[in-house]
């Protein structure tokens, strides 16, 4: 018999469907994790195996996180890396991350995924690229399955050590033949291309300064042969741009294009330092971008031109990035920061009137028409992220899509006085924890707490391992 779920009587249900309907008194009915009906609660079946009363709540599609490093929860707030930009920040962390053993990998993955689920995130891409000390993608996939979160795992890689002109120490890179062979193993064992899949694999060489040109080419060929997506960091900092200009005589985007790294199966993390021609290239080839606002501010990397991407038709999703470059795994916080940072970026640009006279930023009234809205920011976290990850089965609440959603209690101190527009309040007000989070029709968060496992011992073990790793024990 199908397992059924009914959510009913939401104050407002945000569908993100083609009409962008926001349904007062809305609900949905799902069977075996797939939505069968969405609409006013009175039009839905009145019974199900599991019934969620969403009275007093707003319901939104589950957020899609397009870039993370879950193992980095072990090194949040590391004193030696609190005030660094990217390159010295990485060098302060490499030796610690390389000691992440299977137990630490599983535990850190559980912590990060639980934190994300509490912020309404139901689909997560993780970019892991250090596989010393017995660490494997397998332990992360097992953790995601145990917790119940939809998971895109990467077989990431670093192969270019310091002796060959790369940034990471030689001890923390891998042999390229081994990388490719293990990539094949992981894809064959875990990748699920079906509708509603809970596990998919991505090939993700780390960055222009940590892998060779051969590995980038071979990874692209392998990914296309196996039908999986490609991901890497790109255009994150001006240091990276100087690196590719000095080493290859090319800007990062041109260099990657020549290596076969453009197309609808490719997305780049950060993509901050790009010009208008490169934005047009992304749009024409179907490349996506993972915008990570908090991390970009934390490391002083810059501000991605998200509104330009959106205007050009580039696929854009949100990512929290590494828990050590964000110190949190909160997608709702990223939504808010994405909206605010886009407005700040616009405010930093000079404005010219029709006569060509320059004015101070934002002095021209029409400029506010270009501001990112709350609903646009929510769309980046839902439909945008789904498009970036190549998924048509998540990102909105529609018939035939996965029953991935979360609820927020509107009757709280945080939302008091903001209910003139409850949807915008979700973004403008301080981020709140999800009251309920459902993935594939399964309740992961109930009454504001993880219910698929006991998190208390996980937190205790995680704190112990975090301190031991940093101390070199």
Domains and CATH numbers, the chain: 4-61+393-450 (2.30.40.10), 63-385 (3.20.20.140)
Give the mean pLDDT of 32-46. 97
Residue 59, pLDDT score = 99
Residue 346, pLDDT score = 82
Contact 198, 152 (CB under 8 A): no
Supply the pTM of this predicted model: 0.95
Residue 1, pLDDT score = 77
Give the mean pLDDT of 320-338. 95
For the chain, give the percent of residues with pLDDT over 70. 96
Kind of pairing, strands 229-234 and 199-205? parallel
Token representation of residue 460: 């205790």
> Rg (Cα) of the chain, in Å, rounded?
22
Could you give the CA distance from residue 423 to residue 400 in angstroms, rounded to a whole number? 24
Neighbours of 89 (CB within 10 A): 19
Helices (H), 227-322: 238-248, 252-258, 276-285, 293-298, 306-312
If you search the block for the tokens 């559980």, which residue do you land on?
Answer: 110
pLDDT at 449 over 90: yes
pLDDT at 282 over 80: yes
pLDDT at 105 over 90: yes
Q: Name the helix (H) or strand (E) containing 13.
A: strand 4-14
With H, G, I as helix, E, B as strand and everything else as coil, classify residue 168.
coil
Q: How far apart are the first and last CA of the chain?
A: 52
Can you say whether the dihedral through the CA atoms of 150, 154, 155, 158 is positive or negative? Answer: negative
Give the mean pLDDT of 326-335. 96
Helices (H), 136-212: 137-147, 176-190
Residue 183, pLDDT score = 98
Report the candidate in 377, 396, 437, 397 with the shortest Cα–Cα distance to residue 37: 397
Report the candidate in 135, 111, 12, 23 with the shortest Cα–Cα distance to residue 450: 111
Report the candidate in 147, 146, 73 with the shortest Cα–Cα distance to residue 104: 73
Alpha carbon of residue 427 to chain centroid: 17
Could you give the CA distance from residue 410 to residue 56 in angstroms, rounded to a whole number? 6
Helices (H), 389-454: 422-428
Residue 251, pLDDT score = 97
Contact 434, 119 (CB under 8 A): yes
Q: CA 251 → CA 91, 104, 275, 284, 320, distances in Å?
A: 23, 37, 10, 18, 26
Report the candidate in 21, 11, 40, 41 with the shortest Cα–Cα distance to residue 409: 11
Token representation of residue 178: 């081994």
If you search the block for the tokens 């309907």, which residue do you land on?
Answer: 21
pLDDT at 365 over 90: no
* pLDDT bracket for residue 347 (50, 70, 90): confident
* pLDDT bracket for residue 355 (50, 70, 90): low
Helices (H), 164-261: 176-190, 213-226, 238-248, 252-258
Residue 425, pLDDT score = 98
């Amino acid at each position: 018999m199908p397992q059924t779920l009914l959510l009913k009587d939401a104050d407002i249900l945000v569908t993100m469907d083609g009409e962008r309907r926001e349904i007062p008194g809305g609900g949905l009915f799902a069977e075996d994790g797939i939505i069968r009906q969405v609409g006013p609660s009175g039009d839905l079946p009145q019974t199900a195996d599991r019934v969620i009363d969403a009275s007093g709540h707003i319901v939104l599609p589950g957020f899609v996180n397009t870039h993370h490093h879950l193992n980095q929860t072990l090194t949040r707030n590391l004193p030696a890396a609190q005030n660094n930009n990217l390159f010295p920040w990485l060098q302060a962390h490499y030796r610690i991350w390389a000691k992440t053993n299977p137990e630490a990998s599983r535990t850190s993955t559980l912590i990060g995924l639980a934190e994300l689920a509490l912020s309404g995130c139901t689909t997560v891409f993780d970019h892991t690229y250090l596989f010393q000390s017995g660490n494997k993608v397998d332990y992360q996939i097992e953790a995601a399955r145990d917790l119940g979160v939809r998971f895109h795992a990467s077989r990431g890689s670093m192969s270019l050590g310091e002796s060959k002109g790369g940034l990471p120490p030689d001890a923390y890179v891998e042999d390229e033949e081994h990388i490719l062979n293990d990539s094949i193993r992981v894809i064959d064992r875990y990748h699920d291309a079906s509708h509603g899949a809970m596990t998919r694999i991505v090939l993700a060489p780390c960055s222009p300064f940590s892998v060779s040109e051969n590995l980038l080419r071979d990874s692209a060929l392998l990914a296309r042969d196996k039908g999986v997506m490609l991901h890497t960091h790109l255009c994150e900092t001006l240091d990276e741009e100087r690196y590719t200009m000095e080493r290859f005589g090319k800007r990062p985007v041109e260099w990657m294009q020549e290596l076969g790294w453009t197309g609808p199966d490719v997305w780049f993390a950060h993509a901050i330092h790009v010009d208008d021609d490169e934005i047009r290239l992304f749009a024409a080839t179907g490349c996506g971008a993972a915008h990570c606002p908090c991390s970009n501010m934390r490391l002083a990397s810059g501000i991605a031109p998200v509104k330009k991407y959106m205007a050009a038709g580039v696929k854009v999703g949100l990512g929290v990035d590494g828990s050590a470059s964000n110190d949190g795994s909160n997608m709702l916080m990223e939504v808010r920061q994405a909206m605010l940072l886009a407005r700040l970026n616009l405010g930093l640009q000079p404005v010219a009137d029709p006569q060509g006279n320059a004015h101070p930023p934002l002095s021209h009234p029409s400029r506010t028409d270009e501001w990112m809205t709350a609903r646009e920011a929510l769309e980046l976290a839902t439909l945008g992220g789904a498009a970036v990850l190549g998924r048509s089965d998540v990102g909105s609440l529609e018939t035939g899509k996965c029953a991935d959603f979360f609820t927020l209690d509107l009757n709280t101190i945080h939302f008091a006085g903001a209910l003139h527009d409850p949807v915008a309040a979700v973004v403008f007000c301080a981020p709140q924890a999800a009251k309920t989070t459902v993935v594939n029709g399964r309740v992961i968060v109930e009454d504001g707490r993880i219910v698929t496992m006991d998190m208390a011992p996980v937190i205790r073990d995680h704190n112990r391992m975090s301190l031991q790793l940093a101390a070199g024990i």
